[in-house]
């Protein structure tokens, strides 16, 4: 069965490599990226040049925090799976502007989840990070309650929490099927990703 996937962060190195791999397997892909200036826009445009030549690839520039935009993408494209790679990158810069990183990485992820719920999309592949910090400080995927998360956030509003923690909570409450993986030192001219058989 041909899959329809939305890839957020599609113009990044990993997102574009994954999109190319999915397209080579016959899938339909809608890529989303806001061309955040942390990485050079020209480089990101080059990243998706190959995918743009494929008729099964669509690209929508936009922000994952924009509910109307995401809702429109989901309802028009009707994906089977969301691959959520979009995030505000950089550990050091996050220390100087923690609110922005919290807004993009946590609230942006929550917005994706809300739109998945609204459009009855139940499958997500989510990229965490080698620098991820969970609420509990443990490395295992855990069952957390929203109450604990919100309480912790109220106590430490400036602390950099991971979208991984909020994702864990929401997925258990809403019974999503989710695969979370960590990325370490992803580099090179070609990235081969093993999870293209979804």
Domain ranges of the chain: 4-181
What confidence score (pLDDT) does residue 134 get? 45
Q: How far is the C-alpha of 110 from the C-alpha of 166, rounded, in Å?
A: 8
CATH of 4-181, one of 3.40.1670.10, 3.90.1260.10, 3.40.50.720, 3.40.50.10800: 3.40.50.720
What percent of the chain shows pLDDT beyond 90? 38
Question: Does position 5 have pLDDT exceeding 60, yes or no?
Answer: yes
What is this structure's pTM?
A: 0.73
Higher pLDDT, 147 or 61: 61
What confidence score (pLDDT) does residue 165 get? 54
What confidence score (pLDDT) does residue 191 get? 46
Question: pLDDT digits over 144-193, tens only?
Answer: 334 344 444 444 444 444 545 555 555 555 556 666 655 555 555 444 44
Lowest mean pLDDT among 2-6, 19-23, 61-65: 2-6
Could you tell me the pLDDT band of residue 142, with boundaries at 50, 70 and 90?
very low
In this prediction, residues 121-147 reach a mean pLDDT of: 54
Q: How far is the C-alpha of 198 from the C-alpha of 193, rounded, in Å?
A: 12
What does pLDDT average to over the chain?
75
């Amino acid at each position: 069965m041909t899959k329809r996937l939305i890839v957020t962060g599609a113009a990044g190195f990993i997102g574009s490599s994954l999109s190319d791999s999915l397209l080579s397997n016959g899938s339909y892909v809608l890529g989303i990226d806001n061309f955040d200036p942390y990485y050079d826009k020209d480089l990101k445009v080059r990243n998706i040049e190959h995918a743009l030549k494929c008729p099964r690839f669509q690209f929508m520039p936009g922000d994952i925090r924009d509910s109307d935009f995401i809702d429109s993408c989901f309802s028009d494209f009707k994906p089977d799976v969301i691959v959520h790679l979009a995030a505000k990158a950089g550990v050091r810069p996050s220390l100087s502007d923690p609110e922005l990183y919290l807004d993009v990485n946590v609230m942006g992820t929550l917005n994706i989840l809300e739109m998945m719920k609204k459009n009855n999309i139940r499958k997500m592949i989510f990229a965490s990070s080698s620098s991820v910090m969970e609420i509990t400080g443990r490395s295992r995927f855990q069952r957390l309650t929203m109450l604990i998360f919100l309480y912790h956030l109220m106590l430490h509003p400036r602390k950099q929490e991971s979208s991984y923690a909020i994702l864990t909570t929401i997925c258990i409450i809403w019974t999503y099927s989710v695969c979370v993986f960590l990325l370490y030192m992803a580099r090179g001219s070609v990235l081969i990703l093993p999870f293209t058989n979804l």
